[in-house]
Chains A and B, each alone.
Chain A
Amino acid sequence: MQVKVHTHKCIGAGACVHAAPKVFDQDDQGIVIVLHKHPAPELIDSVREAIEACPAAVIALEAGND
């Protein structure tokens, strides 16, 4: 599984960092930074929470490795 983000649509709400701090970070302007593009299996649930929580719907979890 890999994490994809539409950075240009990120509004910097920080919901992803709250839900999955091991997978996401933010820059000074709050724009999402993906720390682990291929998160470990035990982190996948937190990524799904982040997807659900993101108000701008910029995060996706896709099968495969690129």
Chain B
Amino acid sequence: MKTIAIVGASLAGLHAARTLRARGHEGRLIVIGEEPWRPYDRPPLSKQFLTQGWTPQQLALEDDKTPLDVEWRLGRRATALDLAQRRLTLEDGDAVAFDGLVIATGAAARRLPLNELRGTHVVRTLDDATALAEALARRPSHVVIVGAGFIGLEVAASCRERGLAVTLVESAPVPLGRILGNAMGEAITALHTARGVALRRGVSVTGHEADAEGHVRAVVLSDGCRLETDLVVVAIGVTPDVAWLQGSGLTLDDGVVCDETCLAAPGVVAAGDVARWPNRRTGETRRVEHWDNAVRQGKHAAARLLDADGSATAPFELLPWFWSDQYDRKIQLYGSALTHDEVRVVEGSTEDDRFIALYRQGDALSAVLCVNMARALPAYRALLERRAHFEEALAHAPRAMA
């Protein structure tokens, strides 16, 4: 291939670029990014960037040791893909011809009507986090966070660490219940309520009030309750950035639909938050919005792109892994707990906010949740990797829980 274009200049796109060069692509490599920045790391945006004064330079993902010889086209969206002509159109009208294409446009924060008000934030990009950090430094009197998913919870922790009053508003009855199940969702929620976060569960935001300058003054909840606030963070998830691919001929269904190897069309691969593929490891066909997936899938998709007939590329089988830092706790989940039949705490205890819990689906160990017991985790991870039975995993636990 003479020219490979990567649309998306974040984690998946960067790892795709590295892999393309490492595997011998000597032609042109063009990386197109909507944001004006070179690739940067997003996880600290809801944490260290808000609490420890991290600078954008500390987020840089590139190192100087391995120059990639990339032509960066930053600060411009790709607006259209012409598969037949092998050509991209950028928002400034420029056309980029390619032989191979990596789609890594990621996802964008979902917004509410109240996001039109001043004083209302999302946390997805460096610009978002910069604006939020500046607003937190002005010491708002009451922060309302809409959405108690991982980003909402991390922002809540960051606000509490800064001594700010926080209310979390979650539409589900249990925060993280869908991801971890209700029991473990409650265990994580307790980290926050014990540290002074107010939680309103089972309610959604139905209205808002602004002052004369258009700055948020209150939000109204579905139970009629009114919360006065001067800073709102909307953290209700993301939507894959695929609008620019409408009409391109690619199959779009909550993301770019790929085959098992990350191929979306001949000479076109997708990776990261935007890619939806059948993952043999979990049996799920879905997008995975984790940092670790962006790294691995970026590499895998790049290798697939260079493998013209696909004969040398295995299916992309991912054991999902993510972490979340909240206060002095590190929460990690290996595997998927979206559906499970049972969950058991096998080491530590939820009362101490320090535990390992195993998930069972059928006879199998299907996921491992770890809070601040990182040293005990590798053994369970190994059991998960070799698809151990749940009983075998229980037998590994130091105390019998039967």
Contacts and interface: CB of A to CB of B under 8 A. Distances in A.
A12 B332 contact: yes
Contacts of A65: none
Given A27-B374, A55-B292, A11 B43 contact: yes
A30 B374 contact: yes
B43 A12 contact: no
A29 B323 CA distance: 10
B223 interface: no
Contacts of A17: 378
Contact of B374 (A8, A18, A29): A29
A66 interface: no
Contact of A18 (B321, B354, B378): B378
A55 B295 contact: yes
B384 to A, nearest CB: 13
Interface string B285-312: 0000001100100000000000000000
Given A14-B378, A17-B378, A57-B63, A28 B373 contact: yes
B48 interface: yes
B330 interface: yes
A39 to B, nearest CB: 20
Interface string A16-44: 01100000011111110000000000000
Contacts of B375: 25-28
Interface residues of B, number: 22
A12 B321 CA distance: 11
Nearest to B370: A30
Nearest to A21: B378
Given A29-B372, A30-B323, A57-B63, A14 B377 contact: yes
Contacts of A11: 43, 291, 323
Nearest to B321: A13
A30 B292 contact: no
Contacts of A14: 374, 377-378, 381
Contacts of A12: 323, 330, 332, 374
B374 A28 contact: yes
Interface in A40-66: 55, 57
B329 interface: yes
A12 B376 CA distance: 13
Interface string B42-63: 0100001000000000000001
Interface residues of A, number: 17
Contacts of B43: 11
B291 A8 contact: no
Nearest to B52: A8
A27 B377 CA distance: 11
A29 B63 contact: no
A28 B378 contact: no
Interface string B303-340: 00000000000000000010101001110100000000
Contacts of B325: 29
Nearest to A33: B375
| Most chain B CB neighbours (cut-off 10 Å) among A17, A25, A29, A31 | A29
A30 B332 contact: yes
Contacts of B295: 55
A47 to B, nearest CB: 16
A46 B288 CA distance: 31
A40 B251 CA distance: 54
A28 B372 contact: yes
Nearest to B331: A29
Given A25-B375, A55-B291, 6 more contacts: A11-B43, A17-B378, A26-B375, A28-B373, A29-B374, A30-B374
26 contacts: A9-B41, A12-B323, A12-B330, A13-B323, A14-B377, A14-B378, A17-B378, A18-B378, A25-B375, A26-B374, A26-B375, A27-B375, A28-B330, A28-B354, A28-B372, A28-B373, A28-B374, A29-B329, A29-B330, A29-B372, A29-B374, A30-B330, A30-B377, A55-B291, A55-B292, A55-B295
Interface of A: 8-9, 11-14, 17-18, 25-31, 55, 57
